[in-house]
Amino acid sequence: METEIMPVASVTGLFRWTAGGLEPLTTGDPLTQEEVREMPVFYELELHPEQQDADLVIEVVYDNMKPIRLQDLVRGADIPRGVRFWPDWFEIPPFREVRDANSHWVYPRSPGIHTVRIRTARRKREHAGRVRDFSPKNGGSTSPAFEFSIKAGVIYDRE
């Protein structure tokens, strides 16, 4: 009988940066156009305690677009050893319009509701920087779809 491999990390939620710190990002409290342009979206990783030495690979799937590859996180360098939760971030894709994985047009920075899924897995040291394996055998997991909204407003300032 095979032993079940737990995901190396799971995503607990999306957050926005405010003067008071990180606040949950929801559809009820939309990002402003200024926040979309100037601030990244934060997310929190819950790191599996039994996989303390595992380095991580991460990808963001925004509005069903092709996965966006984020920087690998190395334990002991990018993530201190022994921590249980770790914040990271991504930027909303800077396109006015782009085709998603199904060749439909999407508008990443437009007003309305947007979805994000975050994939995590163990980084294979021998494949560093090349092939990424997000399978459950490699401790991979995909977060549920998180939703947030962007408020209508001035999209580009003209000075």
Q: Identify the pLDDT of residue 155.
A: 52
Domain that holds residue 136: 9-150
| Contact by Cβ (8 Å): 140, 4 | no
- Is residue 2 in a domain? no
What is the spatial distance between Cα 57 and Cα 132, in angstroms, rounded to a whole number? Answer: 7
CB atoms within 10 A of CB 91: 14
Q: Which residues of the chain have pLDDT under 50?
A: 1, 157-159
The pLDDT assigned to 102 comes to: 87
Can you give the pLDDT at residue 6? 85
Report CA-CA distances (Å) from 37 to 5, 93, 127, 138, 151. Answer: 39, 10, 34, 35, 12
Q: What is the pLDDT of residue 157?
A: 47
pLDDT of residue 67: 92
- Over residues 101-122, the pLDDT tens digits come to 889 999 999 999 999 999 999 8
Question: 155 lies in a domain?
Answer: no
Residue 78: inside a domain: yes
Query: Structurally, how many domains does the chain consist of?
Result: 1
* Torsion over CA: 65, 92, 105, 96 (sign): negative
As a dihedral over the C-alpha atoms of residue 110, residue 111, residue 112, residue 115, rounded to 10 degrees, the angle is 40
Residue 159 lies in a domain: no
Is 134 among the domain residues? yes
Q: What is the CATH number of the domain that holds 35?
A: 2.60.40
Q: What was the pLDDT predicted at 91? A: 93
The whole-number pLDDT of residue 133 equals 87
